[in-house]
Amino acid sequence: MPDPASPALPPLSLYIHVPWCVRKCPYCDFNSHAAEETLPEQAYLNALLEDLEQDLTLAGDRPIATIFIGGGTPSLMSGGFYQELLDALQTRLSFLPDAEITLEANPGTLEQGRFEAFRAAGINRLSLGIQSFNDRHLQALGRIHDSDAAHRAIEAAHRAGFENFNLDLMHGLPGQDPKDALADLEAALAWQPPHLSWYQLTLEPNTEFYSRPPDLPEDDDLAEIQDRGAALLTAYGMSRYEVSAWSLLGQESRHNLNYWTFGDYLALGAGAHGKITGRAGAITRYWKTRQPEAYLQRIGSRTAGRKEIAQDDLPLEFMMNALRLSGGVEESLFFRRTGLPIESVRVKLAQLRDKKLLVPDRLQATDLGQRYLNTVLEQFL
């Protein structure tokens, strides 16, 4: 029996990773690998289900609230693959009746014809990796699609019945000026998206761009892009509910909200990461075998490592997620997710509030705190 003084277990999501893509983009630091001509769909499906069998005890009796299928390029897999996968998942796990099931998809003729099959399989949300509607910038990013393909993909998603969808856009691109960046936003908004991920290009280690940095916009241009872009999105009726996530009211990504409110999530697939809270309150992060071939050939558990989060590290882990949310979270969530009393960080909270970096009576950064979020988080080290 769980300790009645302990907080209830958090909501449970599921992340599934598909590691293949047509070509590795020079800015990408995700676990993605250029695909062979024929993908090993059946072998990967079998491996995912074997992987799940090893992890079923982690779910316990909690239903799955959301699923996110990321990559790589998950839309390279067929509709039949996802039909079999989701059918098999539902025989092994319980789903909430309104579970949000998101698939990442990239524009391209190969994937577009599959959108109807994805919808029929039970996927009810698409996240389209547009990145830009400018052909020159798409080429600089190493994308395999052009602007016309981006527009056709969004139209195909509409035709397939995806009312709930996200468009991924980047700004601060090589050679991009504020006019170009605003034109990308206007092109996206013309499709009336309920959700937009709009984030600045960063040069991540172990990427081609990090080794050979392109010429990026100056700080003044970046500031203008962010200010004018935010004004445009607000005028459209969107609110920024997280650092780089904008949505219409009620259209926030429920899967990502579970991450940012320090919920739990199972991990399936090559290189996938998960987080699980045990009945005794211990919180563990774990990750799966990264290389696709090793994942496919593994016998037994595909978990490559796990690490329990030390109690001293929990405040920082929690705040790194919760303070990304523009509206923050109520103070009581700190105990419910970490098992630690809010009094354990009360002195630090008071210091940050004295400096006008946090609002009173809520775990929420002020506008100033959002601007200096790394400084705020350093207080919890």
Q: What is the pLDDT of residues 143-176, one digit of tens each?
A: 999 999 999 999 999 999 999 999 999 999 999 9
The tens digit of pLDDT for each residue in 38-66 reads 899 999 999 999 999 999 999 999 999 99
Q: Which candidate, 12, 24, 47, places its Cα nearest to that of 300?
A: 47
How much is the average pLDDT of 236-240?
97
Q: Please give the pLDDT value at position 112.
A: 58
pLDDT per residue over 264-318, tens digit each? Answer: 999 999 999 999 999 899 999 999 999 999 999 998 899 999 999 999 999 999 9
Q: Rounded to 5, what percent of the chain is helix, strand, coil?
A: 40, 20, 35
Is the pLDDT score of 359 beyond 70?
yes
* pLDDT computed for residue 1 by the predictor: 38
User: Is there a domain that residue 353 lies in?
Assistant: yes
My answer on whether 233 and 367 are in the same domain is no
Name the pLDDT band for 202 (thresholds 50, 70, 90).
very high
Assess whether pLDDT exceeds 80 at residue 195.
Answer: yes
Q: Are residues 330 and 194 in the same domain?
A: no
Is residue 51 domain-resident? Answer: yes
Does 190 share its domain with 116? Answer: yes
- Residue 36: pLDDT over 90: no
**pLDDT, mean of residues 100-117:** 84
235 and 323 both lie in a single domain: no
Do 70 and 193 lie in a common domain? yes
Reported confidence tier of residue 116, pLDDT bands at 50, 70, 90? very high
Tell me, yes or no, whether 119 lies in a domain. Answer: yes
Report the pLDDT averaged over residues 194-219: 94
Closest CA to 321 of 350, 283, 291, 354: 283
Is there a domain that residue 338 lies in?
yes
CATH number of the structural domain spanning residue 227: 3.20.20.70
Q: How confident is the model at residue 110 (pLDDT cuts 50, 70, 90)?
A: low
Q: DSSP secondary-structure letter at 345?
A: G
Per-residue pLDDT, averaged over 9-13, amounts to 97
- Roughly how many angstroms between the first and final C-alpha of the chain, as a whole number? 33
Residue 30 CB neighbour total at 10 angstroms: 15
Task: Give the per-residue pLDDT at 3.
Answer: 52
Residues 58 and 146 in one domain: yes
- Which pLDDT belongs to residue 29? 86
Return the pLDDT at 58: 96
Mean pLDDT of 106-118: 79
Does pLDDT of 247 surpass 50? yes
Query: Do 64 and 160 belong to one domain?
Result: yes
Measured CA distances, 215 to 29, 73, 147, 185, 229 (Å): 19, 27, 22, 22, 21
Global confidence as pTM: 0.95
- Asked if residue 38 belongs to a domain, the reply is yes
Q: Which structural domain range is residue 373 located in?
A: 311-381
Residue-wise pLDDT tens digits, 80-89:
999 999 999 9
Same domain assignment for residues 206 and 319: no
Tell me the residue ranges of DSSP E strands in 29-91. 33-34, 64-71
In a domain, 361, yes or no: yes
Q: Do 244 and 341 reside in the same domain of the chain?
A: no
Assigned token pair, 67? 């699923």
Alpha-carbon distance of 200 to 30, in angstroms, equals 16
- Rounded-to-integer distance, Cα 201 and Cα 73, Å: 19
CA pair distance 303, 286, nearest whole angstrom: 7
Residue 2, pLDDT score: 42
Whole-angstrom distance, CA of residue 331 vs CA of residue 338: 12
In the chain, how many domains are there?
2
Tens-place pLDDT, residues 221-232: 999 999 999 999
Backbone angles phi, psi at 354, to 5 degrees: -60, -30
What confidence tens digit (pLDDT) does each residue in 323-348 have?
A: 999 999 999 999 999 999 999 999 99
Assess whether 118 and 208 both reside in one domain.
Answer: yes
Residue 123 is predicted with a pLDDT of 98
Encoded amino acid at 92, one letter: R
The one-letter code for the residue type at 183 is: A
Instruction: Answer yes or no: do 183 and 83 share one domain.
Output: yes
Residue 82 is assigned to a structural domain of this protein = yes
Checking if the pLDDT of 368 tops 90, the result is: yes
Q: How many CA atoms lie within 13 A of 275 on its CB side?
A: 20
Task: Identify the band that residue 108 occupies on the pLDDT scale cut at 50, 70 and 90.
Answer: confident
Do 319 and 252 sit in the same domain of this protein?
no
**Domain-embedded: residue 6:** no
Q: Which of 283, 264, 261 is nearest to 330 (CA)?
A: 261
What is the percentage of the chain residues whose pLDDT exceeds 70? Answer: 97
